[in-house]
Amino acid sequence: MIRFDSVSKEYPDGTVAVGGLEMTAPTGKITVLVGPSGCGKTTSLRMINRMIEPTSGRIWIDDRDTTTMDAAELRRGIGYVIQQAGLFPHRTVAANIATVPMLLGWDRKKARARALELLERVGLPTSFADRYPSQLSGGQQQRVGVARALAADPPVMLMDEPFSAVDPVVRDQLQDEFLRLQGDLGKTIVFVTHDIDEAIKLGDQVAVLRVGGKLAQIAEPARLLGHPVDDFVADFVGRDRGYRGLGFQRAPKLPLAAETTARLGDSAEQVRAAAGTEPWTLVVDEGRRPLGWVNTEQVAGTVSSEVLHRGGTVASTNGTLRNLLDAALSSPARRGVVVDEDGTFAGTVLAHQVLDAIESERAAAAAAQPAGSAAR
Ligand SMILES: Nc1ncnc2c1ncn2[C@@H]1O[C@H](COP(=O)(O)OP(=O)(O)OP(=O)(O)O)[C@@H](O)[C@H]1O
């Protein structure tokens, strides 16, 4: 657990970057600090490993007051990942990852073995070990940055906008991999971002800061979306928070409709005969995994991958209400595709069925609330 106890930072020019911060980051969880530019996120983070010293207040890691600890020793127990990875350009990938183990006096062989193990853990081939950072893409460098922070297996990790320098697709992948890794490792993580979507996706809890380093609200993502405490938080969380909040609600079991399906290579006549008057037919592969919809009228000759409509998203039977609604809304056939856990086609669902399910969940939640407690 990391605890900010009335922590302030005033820079010599009089800027109050952080003002009396009270906050706890629980053990084994991801706490995200989010807020507008200049609200003191980085300053708060760097005070944890004493790269910046607080002007007043204390930061505790478990029952140890960090200000009384040797700063170098403190830092060796804390992994630190920054934007653009911050790798040493003249050291190989393996040497970068082994930085802290070498400082801790591990022998070379053990440190290299650890570097190779971590490369695999973060999804990179071990053949990258002897490359230099400039020979890696931005996303790959970022993975090496995470591997380096994990090298000495520190219980605490500080991450300052680690994924913001890469394109949105790579960022999404890195976030997913990071969540998987954290699922295995259970580190105590404080993560800084200015991106509320990233905060909502990654945080077990999200702390919204306002300029001056004051805590506006700290809550689990679903609570933040559903119950922002004031206009500042509501504005920051964004307009489509109602829709995004559905991403935290498991979809109930809904009755799924069967579909006539086709396969790549089926003839136009076969498809049209099976479809009858229905303009859209779902194409599945040999394992009955959905590939996309075809407009039955547009099939000439045989069904080929070129005529597949790929705009529709696919929801899983154990997914969220948001996945389910999005599958229905994005489907050209208006019927959202739902798959089982193994990816095989389970059936389709209509948007109004999902909305009815949302309404029922809301009614059940309201009925379960004691009178007068609905506002917060
Ligand atoms: N060394 C410094 N001297 C004076 N002021 C500073 C110094 N470092 C940061 N500040 C100021 O302190 C405030 C908080 O800065 P900080 O970098 O912690 O914010 P941030 O929330 O991480 O911002 P961003 O999202 O833009 O990176 C800002 O007003 C910044 O200008």
CATH number at residue 153: 3.40.50.300
Shared domain for 111 and 239, answered yes or no, is yes
Question: Ligand 1, atom 18: nearest CA belongs to which residue?
Answer: 40
What's the gap in Å between 43 CA and the centre of ligand 1? Answer: 7
Does residue 41 fall inside a structural domain? yes
- Looking at the structure, tell me whether residues 221 and 124 fall in a common domain: yes
Position 372 confidence tier, pLDDT thresholds 50, 70, 90:
low
261 and 282 in contact (C-beta within 8 Å)?
yes
Regarding whether 135 and 207 lie in a shared domain, the answer is yes
Residues 189 and 334 in one domain: no
Residue of higher predicted confidence among 291 and 241: 291
287 assigned to some structural domain: yes
- Domain shared by 135 and 171, yes or no: yes
Q: Where does ligand 1 bind, in terms of residues with CB under 6 Å? A: 11, 13, 15, 17, 35, 37-43, 194
State the distance from the centre of ligand 1 to the C-alpha of 47, rounded, in angstroms.
Answer: 12
User: Domain boundary at 248, 279, 304, which?
Assistant: 248
In angstroms, the CA 306 to CA 155 distance is 50
Q: Do 276 and 224 share a structural domain?
A: no
Could you give the ipTM of this predicted complex?
Answer: 0.96
Residue 38 Cα, ligand 1 centroid: separation in angstroms? 5
Q: Is 196's pLDDT higher than 70?
A: yes
Range of the domain at 328: 261-358
Tell me if residue 299 falls in helix, strand or coil: coil
Ligand 1: atom nearest CA of 194 is 25
pLDDT per residue as tens digits for the range 252-272: 889 999 999 999 999 999 999
- Residue 276 falls in which region: left (phi positive, over 0), alpha (psi -120 to 50) or beta: left
Q: How confident is the model at residue 370 (pLDDT cuts 50, 70, 90)?
A: low
Give the number of domains in the chain. Answer: 2
Q: Whose CA is nearest to atom 10 of ligand 1?
A: 17
Q: Report residue 12 as tokens.
A: 């010599």
Q: Ligand 1 centroid to 261 CA: how many Å? A: 57
Mean pLDDT of 56-64: 94
What is the CATH classification number for the domain harbouring 319? 3.10.580.10
Residue owning the nearest CA to atom 26 of ligand 1: 37
Looking at the predicted structure, is the pLDDT value of residue 371 above 80? no
**By the 8 A CB rule, do 206 and 34 touch?**
yes
pLDDT digits (tens, 9 = 90+) for 155-193: 999 999 988 877 777 788 888 888 988 998 899 999 999
Ligand 1 centre and the CA of 120: distance in Å? 36
Same domain, 312 and 352: yes
Of the residues 248, 279, 305, the one at which a domain ends: 248
Tell me the C-alpha distance between 95 and 342, whole Å.
40
Summarize the confidence of residues 37-43 as an average pLDDT.
94
Mean pLDDT across 290-314: 91
pLDDT at 374: 46
What mean pLDDT value characterizes the chain? Answer: 90
Residue whose Cα lies nearest atom 23 of ligand 1: it is 38
Same domain, yes or no, for 59 and 187? yes
Q: Please report whether residue 228 resides in a domain.
A: yes
Q: Name the pTM for this structure.
A: 0.80
